[in-house]
Structure formats: C-alpha cells, structure tokens
Amino acid sequence: MKVLCPVINHCISISECEKLLIDFRKFRPYQRKDIYENKKFTHVDESGLPKMVDVSGKAVTLRTAKAQAVIDVGDEILGHIKNEELVTKKGPVFQTAIIAGVLGAKRTAELIPFCHPVGLDDCQVKIHVKQKKIIVDAQAVVQAKTGVEMEALTAASIAALTIYDMCKALSHDITIENIRLMEKTGGKKDCKRK
C-alpha cells in the first residue's frame, strides 16, 4: 500500500515514508541527499532556500483531493446533537463549519506561502458522527496545473477548528485528533488511503 508521504509530497510505501520521517528529523534534506535517492523536496531549491514550484510547463488536468478531520468532543457535547445537527448559543455548528471549511479552502493560497492560488471548481464539506466522533470529510476539485490537496486539507482543518470554537463553551475537553489526506487524483501519481 502506498501513502502520501509529507516529507517528499509523493506516494510511497509506508516503510519508505517512516524511514524518511525518521531521517528528516535528524537532518535537513539538502544536507543528506544520499538518503533520499532521486527524491527531493519540491519547495526547497538546491541551496536549501524555500521556493515556489514552477508549474508553467505542466498540463491542465482534472485534479481532485479528499481530506478528513476527526474531532472527539466527548459524550456530553454529542448528547446535544439533534436531527444530525449540533446547535449551541453561537448557532448551528455543523452548518457553520461547512461554510467555514469551504471559505477556508478558497483562501488556502493566502494561508500557505507556496501554495498556488487556484480557482476551485468545487468544494464540498460533509459532517457526520461515527463511533462517538465527529468526522469532517472535505473534497476539492479543479481543472489546473497543480493539485488541490492543500485546499481539501484546509477545508477539513478550518471546519474542525470551527466545531472546536463553537463547542468550547460547553467543554474544553475537545480534541482534533486527525487531519489527513484521504485521496488525490490527477497529478503525477494518484493516491488513496484505506
């Protein structure tokens, strides 16, 4: 099984990714090129300085990405959910988080320095409860030269943070446990997390 490794931003085996993560914590990538073979950080130039990736030579393709955030709000807050919505004094939590997630996805390039601004063709955020946890699923779609992984991850993150913000008056024992890319298509390599 292959996963999207955050160290090199490419799909590789779990064992390869674990090795890179361990090595990355010890050495900067431009100091230990031997451990990365032909892989390199896309946002670091040869001298180790940050840079934006030049996508001018790439073809426009349909790019999709799905991301997920998991929030543990505890039994007390879950007990307030009625008709698949959680309403607090601040308003409907899930509806507000969906709107915030989409707005966040649209502003990703303003938040992440080397993220290319893309005009999203679609962004969907869905929220449900599973096994006593709130699950945020976000999907971003664009016809572009670059992917929308960061937009999907931002949508899931901002929606999760909105849920935290709107529920914190009820409890501060809320944990955003997991924000991760679930799937990406349309680039050099497709990737899907099981």
Residue 72 belongs to domain with CATH number:
3.30.70.640
| Residue 161 located in a structural domain | yes
Identify whether the C-beta of residue 2 lies closer than 8 Å to the C-beta of residue 12.
yes
Q: State whether 112 and 41 are in the same domain.
A: no
**Average pLDDT rounded to a whole number, residues 72-94:** 91
Number of structural domains the chain divides into: 2
| 190 assigned to active site | no
Q: State whether 31 and 70 are in the same domain.
A: no
Q: What is the DSSP string of 94-124?
A: HHHHHHHHHHHHHTHHHHSTTPPP---SEEE
Q: State whether 19 and 65 are in the same domain.
A: no
Distance between CA atoms of 68 and 31, rounded to whole angstroms? 33
| Residue 110 located in a structural domain | yes
Extended strands (E) in 6-77 = 10-13, 61-72
pLDDT single digits (tens) 157-181: 999 999 999 999 999 899 999 999 9
| Residue 130 located in a structural domain | yes
| Residue 11 located in a structural domain | yes
Q: What is the pLDDT of residue 20?
A: 65
108 pLDDT band (50/70/90 cuts)? Answer: very high
Q: State whether 43 and 98 are in the same domain.
A: no
| Residue 194 located in a structural domain | no
Identify whether the C-beta of residue 125 lies closer than 8 Å to the C-beta of residue 158.
no
Q: Supply the range of the domain harboring residue 25.
A: 1-51
Q: Which two tokens stand for residue 140?
A: 């971003």
Q: State whether 40 and 65 are in the same domain.
A: no
Q: State whether 152 and 181 are in the same domain.
A: yes
Catalytic residue among 34, 165, 173, 190: 165
Q: What is the pLDDT of residue 6?
A: 62
Report the range of poorest mean pLDDT among 20-34, 116-130, 145-159: 20-34
32 pLDDT band (50/70/90 cuts)? Answer: very low
